[in-house]
């Protein structure tokens, strides 16, 4: 069986705090998940849920308190792994005394690309992120959205196998978001593995093969967007026409919304058959039976609410 591109096992991160650093704040607790090769994986969660912590652990900016992770079979502590990954930090900021072209050339040097190859790639990347005319301008004159594009360009400049993007849509206007979406789809078509964090659920729904929802430092659900929302109890919507006397249907009709002769109502999946029989028996004409599709947003909010009801988002304990 092919190995997953990203394997995370029981990964935890605690930060000491307080004057003597004796207290611990848990940012991530026992995260176990994997991202398959060639998959676009969306990492969802509210602010402070542990998304950026996980990503920073994967790219080696911070170190785990417990657990392990591997990217393309190599430990995250193995520097050679970095040759195969591309990373866009959250709200990226770069050397503002450099132009975009200089910055990309600087980063490309760490991948041992020859000068001619660097030149070609830098030009191609600037074009790809829509900055071909701004490549010679110092980054201190760039807007937030433009910096985000430069960040994306440096992440994919060396053609990495795994691309990790921390909030890639943040700070972008609708055109920019669309362009980033297109780039992620292009990466997917090229067989790359993409892990990106976001709290824009529509983007995740549109782009991801699978999503993982993290709340309060714990992973609360993983699966395909369709599948994950299916975890919630489903309802069925029934549209029917009925002109007869209320008779034995009083209880049902009281739950339905009437528009002229038409009624529509929601029933639990388990009650569907009995409801249809009852309606059919009373002479109602069934027009449509459809599944009420829960959105990812509803699922997400359901998890966040459940977490808030259970415990504070971040566990704080003295030691």
Partner 1 sequence: MKRVGVVALNTFREAVRDRVLYNLVFFALAMIAASILVGQVSIGIEEMVIVSLGLSAISVIGLLIAVFIGVALVSKEMDKRTLYALLAKPVRRWEFLLGKFGGLVLTLTVNTLAMAAGLFLALRLVKHSAEPLEGAVLVAVYFILLKLALVVALALLFSCFTTPLLSILYTAGLYIAGLFVTEMRNYQSETMSRALQSLLRWLSYLLPNFENFDVMAAAAHGHAIPGMLIAHNTAYAALYCAIVLAAAAAIFTRRNLK
Place of tokens 């892990």: 195
CB of 138 or CB of 294, closer to partner 1: 138
CB of 88 or CB of 236, closer to partner 1: 88
Q: What are phi and psi of 31, to 5 degrees?
A: -75, 125
The sign of the CA dihedral 196, 197, 202, 208 is positive
By DSSP bridging, strand 40-44 and strand 210-215 are parallel
CB of 149 or CB of 220, closer to partner 1: 149
Residue 84 Cβ vs partner 1, minimum distance, rounded to whole Å: 9
Place of tokens 């009709």: 253
CB of 134 or CB of 165, closer to partner 1: 165
How many CA atoms within 13 Å lie on the side-chain side of 153?
30
**Count, residues near partner 1 per rule CB under 8 A:** 32
State both tokens at 249. Answer: 């249907």
CB of 107 or CB of 242, closer to partner 1: 107
CA–CA gap between residue 255 and residue 29 (Å, rounded):
44
Interacting positions 33-92 with partner 1 (CB under 8 A)? 56, 59-63, 79-80, 82-83, 85-89, 91-92
Residue 83 Cβ vs partner 1, minimum distance, rounded to whole Å: 5
Q: Which of 7, 25, 67, 106 binds partner 1 (CB under 8 A)?
A: 106
Place of tokens 């983007």: 203
Residue 156 Cβ vs partner 1, minimum distance, rounded to whole Å: 12
Asked if residue 314 binds partner 1 (CB under 8 A), the reply is no
Interacting positions 190-219 with partner 1 (CB under 8 A)? none
Strand partners of residue 23? 17
CA–CA gap between residue 12 and residue 293 (Å, rounded):
34
Nearest alpha-carbon partner for 4 in 222, 220, 159: 222
State both tokens at 205. Answer: 């729904």
CB of 164 or CB of 256, closer to partner 1: 164
Asked if residue 136 binds partner 1 (CB under 8 A), the reply is no
Stretch that binds partner 1, among 115-123, 147-155, 171-179, 270-278 (CB under 8 A): 147-155
CB of 89 or CB of 212, closer to partner 1: 89
Q: 301 near 253, Cβ under 8 Å?
A: no
Q: Tell the burial category of 65 from Cβ atoms under 10 Å away from its Cβ (0-12, 13-18, 19+).
A: middle
Asked if residue 151 binds partner 1 (CB under 8 A), the reply is yes
- Give 88-127 as a DSSP string: E-SS----TTSBHHHHHHHHHHTTT--HHHHHHHHHHHHH
Q: Which of 109, 127, 178, 255 binds partner 1 (CB under 8 A)?
A: 109
Residue 74 Cβ vs partner 1, minimum distance, rounded to whole Å: 11
Interacting positions 3-22 with partner 1 (CB under 8 A)? 15
Stretch that binds partner 1, among 123-131, 148-156, 176-184, 272-280 (CB under 8 A): 148-156
Residue 46 Cβ vs partner 1, minimum distance, rounded to whole Å: 19
Q: 151 near 124, Cβ under 8 Å?
A: no
Q: Which residues bind partner 1 (CB under 8 A)?
A: 15, 56, 59-63, 79-80, 82-83, 85-89, 91-95, 97-98, 106-107, 109-112, 151, 154-155
């Amino acid at each position: 069986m092919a190995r997953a591109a990203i394997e995370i096992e029981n990964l935890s991160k605690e930060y000491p705090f307080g004057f003597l650093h004796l207290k611990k704040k848990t940012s991530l607790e026992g995260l176990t998940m994997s991202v398959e090769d060639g998959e676009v994986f969306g990492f969802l969660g509210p602010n402070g849920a542990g998304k950026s912590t996980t990503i920073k652990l994967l790219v080696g900016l911070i170190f785990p308190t417990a657990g392990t992770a591997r990217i393309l079979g190599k430990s995250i502590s193995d520097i050679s792994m970095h040759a195969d990954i591309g990373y866009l930090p959250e709200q990226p900021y770069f050397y503002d005394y450099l132009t975009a072209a200089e910055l990309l050339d600087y980063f490309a040097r760490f991948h041992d690309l020859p000068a001619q190859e660097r030149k070609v790639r830098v030009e191609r990347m600037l074009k790809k992120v829509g900055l071909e005319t701004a490549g010679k301008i110092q980054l201190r004159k760039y807007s937030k959205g433009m910096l985000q594009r430069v960040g994306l360009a440096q992440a994919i400049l060396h053609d990495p196998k795994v691309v990790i993007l921390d909030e890639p849509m943040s700070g972008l206007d609708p055109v920019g978001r669309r362009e980033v979406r297109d780039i992620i789809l292009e990466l997917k078509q090229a067989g790359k593995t993409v892990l990106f964090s976001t709290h824009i659920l529509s983007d995740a729904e549109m782009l991801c093969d699978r999503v993982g929802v993290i709340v309060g430092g714990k992973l609360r659900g993983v699966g395909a967007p369709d599948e994950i929302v299916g975890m919630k109890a489903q309802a069925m919507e029934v549209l029917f026409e009925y002109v007869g006397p209320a008779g034995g249907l009083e209880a049902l009709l009281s739950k339905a919304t009437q528009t002229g002769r038409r009624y529509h109502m929601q029933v639990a999946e388990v009650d569907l058959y009995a409801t249809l029989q009852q309606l059919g028996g009373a002479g109602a004409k069934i027009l449509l039976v459809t599944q009420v599709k829960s959105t990812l947003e509803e699922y997400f909010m359901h998890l966040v609410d459940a977490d808030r009801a259970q415990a504070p988002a971040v566990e704080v304990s003295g030691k």
